[in-house]
Amino acid sequence: MIPMLVIATKNQNKLAEFKEIMKDSNIDIKSLADFGPIPEVIEDGDTFDQNAYKKAHHTARILGLPAIADDSGLVVDTLGGEPGVYSARYAGPGATDEENCTKLLTALKGQKNRKAHFSCVLSIAVPSGPALTYENRCDGIILESPKGKSGFGYDPVFYFEEYGKTFAELSPEEKNSVSHRGKALKEVKTELTMIKKWLEQRLSEEKPVKPDHNEFEGKDWSEEL
């Protein structure tokens, strides 16, 4: 039996990266788009690890299926680790990638130390709670101005020295081979046999988890249509 795994993200860019890297995994990959709308999870953890687990377990518990989620972001040395877990909303709730990059470049104006790294934590959780965790990072330098048209997030300002390009100048194949998320997912792929056995064992020990209907009460689903 091929295990099913739900990718717990609505970010289409992340979803594309997940599917590309996991396409030969022999796992039935699903996304949130394959199901009806589910309540949002509040990402209020202090670390990437906490947020990744919270998203994975939240999705697994509501759908009754194993789920994989990531939390990732940019960590800049001279800014004390910012933007960190607030990377997606560094310039405020609903901020665009361009606005986040602009705020970052403003914060780094005049700084000589522009070292940074992207960090990614992946969590694979089953409905009852247990999870597997994978983590990786990619080091680089923040440029003084954006370069490149591909990618998303901080890719246009993140310079990867080994290739002599920003992430936004790399092809999807090049980026996935060296990125924080790509390397974390490759770790998952190298341990697929173990992961499949772990999932089968955990799921066989569990009774089917019924959705918590309290999660849905008072929600205007017309907003999601």
Task: Please provide the DSSP assignment of 22-88 as one string.
Answer: TTTS-SEEEEGGGS---PPPP---SSHHHHHHHHHHHHHHHHTS-EEEEEEEEEEGGGTT-BGGGGG
- Sheet with 4-7: list strands edge to edge: 28-31, 4-7, 67-76, 115-125, 131-142, 158-160, 165-166
State the Cα–Cα distance between residues 184 and 174, nearest whole angstrom: 15
Output the six-digit token pair for 211. Answer: 């959705």
State the Cα–Cα distance between residues 200 and 192, nearest whole angstrom: 12
Cβ distance 204 to 11 under 8 Å?
Answer: no
Residues designated catalytic: 71
How far from the centroid of its chain's Cα atoms is residue 203's Cα?
24
Q: Report the phi/psi class of residue 80: left, alpha or beta, with left for phi > 0 and alpha for psi in -120 to 50.
A: left
- Give me the phi and psi of 124, to 5 degrees please: -110, 115
State the Cα–Cα distance between residues 10 and 51, nearest whole angstrom: 15
Output the six-digit token pair for 157. Answer: 């300002």
